[in-house]
């Protein structure tokens, strides 16, 4: 059985990258990752025996990201955009921030597919396993996401970077 | 001119690079001399979070206002993120309930209702769709347009699973309503027991935020009464519905 600490060290950064893309909030992303690891730690005897503890971890993360988004009502989301006390955007370039802001406007499943494909660099089958759908559905989510992002992302001018 | 794919790849690469620099200070860099003391700090933080999680149900009970004599009978359940003790396999749970908070058993339910509730929670937590389907009563519905228990499997297969929502709903307060034929139905959440949206107590509305955004609740309120996800189990323990909408 892989020790939990080793697993934590191996997976923390990869998981944080996904959380950052899904939240664009440094503190929220760190909280999501920490909560996900706590969930894994509590049932580590079982999770460590899974065929892919990594996949389980990513699934918990995206489920928790969805729950968090639901908890944030429209008012909270508006406040978050303004930037309430405690909200700290990750130190990313303006262009990258803009990309993730646009991604966050996509339907939930498309956001997840984008984060898992581009940030986590997982295969279609791995993403399908995590999202609980077919690889065809993942491709469809990605296709729709790219189509939806064409207009807002093409408006970005190189000189704005 | 870069494509959408190029932009997403560039953003993803920068995000990974950013995350790579965010190794939690409490743990220190892998292999660094600070790691042991950092691990203790993490353990302390972890312990505090566990205590906070454990206190949530207790705090929620403290927050309950006094009972309204005109309101339907309500009992409140808590939730915990502790793993289900009923699952014995080591297969990875792979469903929409993975990582969801697991409701705690509710006191005061009739034994048959309590048994069904516990079994539903255990099956959903274990992502055991077949058991969930088997638990459904003969008239069980997931959709008043005709959805039966197998719909829960379809939701999962299509990636639109609602087992996490099922657990969330069962973690809310419940109420008892007449079934119109002399029997009783135990329903979750208690908000469903009120005929008019305006009559729903604030605490029953507040708990719905675990399932819906404020925007979504405003849409639901336009129906005139709560019409979101709800669970119904009759007094004999038959699981009657897990449904949303009219």
DSSP string, B28-88: -STT-TTHHHHHHHHHHHHHHHHHHHHHHHHHHHHHPPPPPTTSPPEE---EE-SPPSS--
Q: What is the mean pLDDT of residues B211-236?
A: 86
Q: Structure tokens of B71? A: 């309101």
Q: What is the pLDDT of residue A72?
A: 54
Nearest Cβ partner for B213 among A9, A70, A99: A70
B137 to chain A nearest CA, in Å? 26
Query: Considering only residues 67 to 86 of chain A, which have any Cβ-Cβ distance to chain B shorter than 8 Å?
Result: 67, 69-77
Instruction: Categorize the per-residue pLDDT at B39 as very low, low, confident or very high, splitting at 50, 70 and 90.
Output: very low
A contact test, residue of B2, B3, B9, B12 with most A CBs within 10 A: B12
Nearest Cβ partner for A41 among B8, B46, B209: B46
Under 8 Å between Cβ of B108 and B174:
no
Q: Structure tokens of A96? A: 């990258």
The CA angle B208-B211-B177, to the nearest 5 degrees, is 50
**What φ, ψ does residue A149 adopt, rounded to 5°?**
-85, -15
Answer yes or no: do B50 and A38 touch at CB < 8 A: yes
**What φ, ψ does residue B147 adopt, rounded to 5°?**
-70, 135
Q: How far apart are CA B165 and CA B189, in angstroms?
A: 12
Q: Measuring CA to CA, which residue among B241, B235, B231, B230 is closest to residue B114?
A: B235
Q: Considering only residues A42 and B218, tell me which one the structure prediction assigns the higher pLDDT.
A: B218
Q: What is the pTM of this model?
A: 0.51
Count Cβ neighbours within 10 Å for each residue of B78-105 and write b for 16 or more, e otherwise: bbebebbeebeeeebbbbbbbbbbbbee
Q: What is the pLDDT of residue B35?
A: 35
* Nearest-Cα residue of chain B relative to residue A153: B4
Please return the burial class of A2, using the count of CB atoms within 10 Å of its CB with bins 0-12, 13-18 and 19+. exposed
Q: Structure tokens of B32? A: 């660094």
Q: What is the mean pLDDT of residues B95-106?
A: 82
Say what angle helices B111-125 and B163-170 make with each other, to 10 degrees: 140
A contact test, residue of B1, B3, B7 with most A CBs within 10 A: B7
Q: What is the mean pLDDT of residues A13-18?
A: 94
What SS3 string covers B205-232? HHHHHHCCCHHHHHHHHCCCCCCCCEEE
Query: Considering only residues 115 to 144 of chain A, which have any Cβ-Cβ distance to chain B shorter than 8 Å?
Result: 118-119, 121, 129, 131-134, 137
Describe the strand order of the beta sheet including B174-178 as a list of residue ranges.
B74-75, B174-178, B184-188, B230-234, B239-243, B136-141
Answer yes or no: do A156 and B7 touch at CB < 8 A: yes
* Nearest-Cα residue of chain A relative to residue B206: A71
Cα separation of the two ends of chain A: 46
Q: What are the angstrom distances between the C-alpha of A97 and each of A21, B28, B241?
A: 9, 27, 43
Those residues with Cβ within 8 angstroms of residue B191's Cβ, 6 or more apart along the chain or in another chain? B200, B204, B205, B207, B208, B226
Q: What is the pLDDT of residue B70?
A: 38
- Measure CA B107 to chain center: 18
Q: Measuring CA to CA, which residue among B110, B33, B76 is closest to residue B191?
A: B76
Under 8 Å between Cβ of A56 and A40:
yes
* Nearest-Cα residue of chain A relative to residue B99: A60
Answer yes or no: do B161 and A132 touch at CB < 8 A: yes
Q: How far apart are CA B127 and CA B135, in angstroms?
A: 13
Does A6 lie at the interface with B, CB-CB under 8 angstroms? no
* Nearest-Cα residue of chain B relative to residue A48: B90
Sign of CA dihedral A115, A119, A124, A130: negative
Look at residue A27 and tell me whether its pLDDT is greater than 70. yes
Question: Of B2-6, B150-154, B158-162, B212-216, where does mean pLDDT reach its minimum?
Answer: B158-162
Q: What is the pLDDT of residue A100?
A: 94
Answer yes or no: do B94 and A59 touch at CB < 8 A: yes
Nearest Cβ partner for A119 among B12, B39, B164: B12
């Amino acid at each position: 059985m892989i020790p939990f600490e080793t697993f934590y060290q191996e997976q923390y950064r990869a998981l944080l990258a996904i959380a950052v893309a899904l939240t664009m909030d440094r503190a929220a992303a760190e909280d999501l990752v920490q909560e996900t690891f706590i969930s894994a730690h509590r049932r580590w005897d079982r999770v460590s025996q899974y065929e892919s503890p990594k996949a389980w971890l990513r699934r918990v993360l995206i489920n928790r990201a969805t729950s968090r988004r639901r908890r944030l009502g429209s008012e909270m989301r508006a406040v978050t955009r303004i930037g309430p006390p405690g909200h700290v955007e990750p130190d990313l370039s303006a262009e990258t921030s803009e990309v993730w802001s646009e991604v966050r406007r996509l339907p939930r499943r498309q956001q997840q597919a984008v984060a898992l494909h581009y940030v986590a660099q997982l295969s279609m089958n791995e993403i399908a396993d995590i999202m609980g759908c077919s690889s065809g559905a993942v491709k469809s989510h990605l296709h729709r996401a790219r189509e939806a992002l064409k207009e807002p992302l093409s408006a970005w001018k190189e000189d704005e970077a | 001119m870069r494509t959408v794919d190029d932009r997403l790849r560039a953003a993803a690469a920068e995000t990974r690079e950013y995350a790579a620099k965010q190794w939690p200070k409490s743990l220190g860099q892998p292999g660094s001399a600070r790691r042991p003391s950092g691990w203790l700090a993490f353990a302390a933080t972890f312990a505090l979070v566990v205590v906070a999680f454990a206190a949530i149900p207790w705090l929620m009970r403290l927050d309950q206002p006094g009972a309204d004599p005109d309101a339907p009978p309500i009992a409140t359940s808590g939730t915990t993120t502790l793993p289900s003790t009923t699952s014995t396999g080591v297969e990875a749970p792979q469903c929409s309930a993975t990582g969801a908070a697991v409701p705690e058993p509710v006191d005061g339910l009739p034994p048959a209702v309590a048994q069904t509730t516990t079994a539903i929670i255990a099956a959903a937590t274990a992502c055991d769709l077949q058991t969930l389907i088997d638990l459904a009563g003969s008239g069980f519905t997931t959709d008043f347009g005709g959805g039966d228990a197998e719909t829960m499997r379809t939701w999962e297969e299509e990636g639109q699973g609602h087992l996490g929502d099922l657990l969330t709903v069962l973690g809310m307060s419940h109420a008892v309503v007449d079934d119109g034929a002399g029997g009783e139905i135990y329903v979750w959440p208690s908000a469903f027991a009120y005929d008019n949206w305006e009559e729903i107590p604030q605490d029953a509305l507040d708990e719905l935020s675990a399932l819906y955004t404020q925007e979504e609740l405003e849409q639901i309120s336009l129906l005139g009464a709560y019409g979101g996800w709800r669970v119904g189990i009759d007094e004999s323990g038959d699981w009657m519905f897990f449904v949303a909408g009219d």
